[in-house]
Copies of this chain bind each other. A is one copy, B any other.
Amino acid sequence: MAGNSFGNIFRVTTFGESHGRAIGGVLDGCPAGIPLDLELIQKDLDRRKPGQSAIVTQRKEPDQVEIYSGIFEGRTTGTPIGFAIHNTNQKSKDYGHIKDSYRPSHADYVYDQKYGFRDYRGGGRSSARETASRVVAGAIAKQFLKGIEINAFVSQVGTLKMEKSYLELDLKTAEDNIVRCPDQEMAVKMEEYIKAIKKDGDTIGGVITCVATNVPVGLGEPVFDKLHAELGKAMLSINAVKGFEYGSGFEGVTMKGSEHNDPFNTDGSTKTNHSGGVQGGISNGMDIYFNVAFKPVATVIQGYQTIDKEGNLVQTQGKGRHDPCVVPRAVPIVEAMTALVLADYMLLSRVNKI
């Protein structure tokens, strides 16, 4: 209710500020008996962590997760899984310049207005550092969802848009390049473009596409907790996200019903999939796919004018070590949130019938 929990049954609560002692969380409602491979958790954290390539922030954080509870003899026990990632690289002095002034298009101003003051170090709670906790919980969700495949990848950077359908590509190859785009030619262009943006001290937006396959029929809780509505909320809760569309999305607006409808095959599957795997808010067994729009990171390494707490105009300059484009590191976050929604809705679907 106070905003730091996600999920109904399979439910994660996170805590932690960018430059506090630790971030972490509690995953409650995870069923007992799941064999947990801790290395898979760390692997997803490594995909998200800073410093992993030339096109992401060069901060160094090991992001080593410690699990405190809920696992016994290698399996989940059904009790809450508490975990923490200690912050080790807290250069608080880097952020002195934002203590008294509000960076444009950051959360500085609204946090001060809402709470009366704020932990200004590195963005505090509004920093995307918080998403590391989501990745931990999501990695556990993935192991519960055995058999369901979730693959997210970068499909657009600025105006560079992958034109191929995801069906023509091997999505696993997204991990073969540092942009995380499964179209290798496009990936090269995107990488070059991000490097140029970085050189200018500027930033650029992007789109992540996510595909979930082998999702069983029947997930979704109409009328308010429709599967795609919860997925949408999950995605929009990620830092810098400005939009969400699934299936035909905004393009579908221009189609006629006679074109848009997905005809059935005799096994209940459909010949086309404009629906994006969800009908009436309930999964229909087809691939679930959706796009997530990320704005350009607000921190630009350029001089700019802004205001301080008293409303005076001040001249300042972006500092710190930030990402020129957030999407390559956001891929595992999108997957994690998708896994959390699916795990929760898998459990919810167990109570539909007598």
Q: Flag whether A320 is at the interface (Cβ < 8 A).
A: no
Q: Flag whether A167 is at the interface (Cβ < 8 A).
A: no
Interface contact B197-A256, CB-CB below 8 Å: yes
A203-239 contacts to B, CB under 8 A, are: 203-207, 217-218, 220-226, 228-230, 232-234, 236-237, 239
Q: Flag whether A64 is at the interface (Cβ < 8 A).
A: no
Bound-state Cα–Cα, A33 to B73, Å: 40
Chain B's nearest CB lies how many Å from the CB of A114?
4
Q: Flag whether A96 is at the interface (Cβ < 8 A).
A: no
Interface contact A32-B352, CB-CB below 8 Å: yes
Q: Flag whether A296 is at the interface (Cβ < 8 A).
A: yes
Interface contact A261-B130, CB-CB below 8 Å: no
Q: Flag whether A186 is at the interface (Cβ < 8 A).
A: no
Chain B residues closer than 8 Å to A158, beta-carbon distance: 253-254, 256
Chain B's nearest CB lies how many Å from the CB of A339?
15
With A105-B260, A205-B252, A205-B260 as known contacts, state yes or no: A16 contacts B82, CB within 8 Å: yes
Chain B residue nearest in CB terms to A310: B266
Interface contact B20-A68, CB-CB below 8 Å: yes
State the number of copies, please: 4
Count of A interface residues, CB-CB < 8 Å = 152
Q: Mark A15-45, 1 if CB is under 8 A from B, else 0.
A: 1110011111110110111100000000000
Interface contact B352-A263, CB-CB below 8 Å: no
Chain B's nearest CB lies how many Å from the CB of A13?
5
Q: Flag whether A148 is at the interface (Cβ < 8 A).
A: no
Chain B residue nearest in CB terms to A76: B354
Interface contact A104-B31, CB-CB below 8 Å: no
Selected from B13, B276, B298, B353, the residue in CB contact (under 8 A) with A257 is: B298
Chain B's nearest CB lies how many Å from the CB of A9?
5
Interface contact A237-B281, CB-CB below 8 Å: yes
Interface contact A264-B306, CB-CB below 8 Å: yes
Q: Flag whether A173 is at the interface (Cβ < 8 A).
A: no
Chain B residue nearest in CB terms to A12: B224
Bound-state Cα–Cα, A33 to B115, Å: 8
Chain B's nearest CB lies how many Å from the CB of A305?
7
Interface contact A28-B11, CB-CB below 8 Å: no
Q: Flag whether A338 is at the interface (Cβ < 8 A).
A: no
Selected from B77, B234, B266, B307, the residue in CB contact (under 8 A) with A118 is: B77
Q: A104-B261, A110-B279 are in contact. List 14 more A-B contacts (CB 8 A).
A: A1-B11, A3-B220, A4-B26, A15-B26, A25-B26, A29-B351, A31-B353, A32-B115, A79-B125, A105-B262, A110-B217, A110-B283, A113-B268, A243-B252
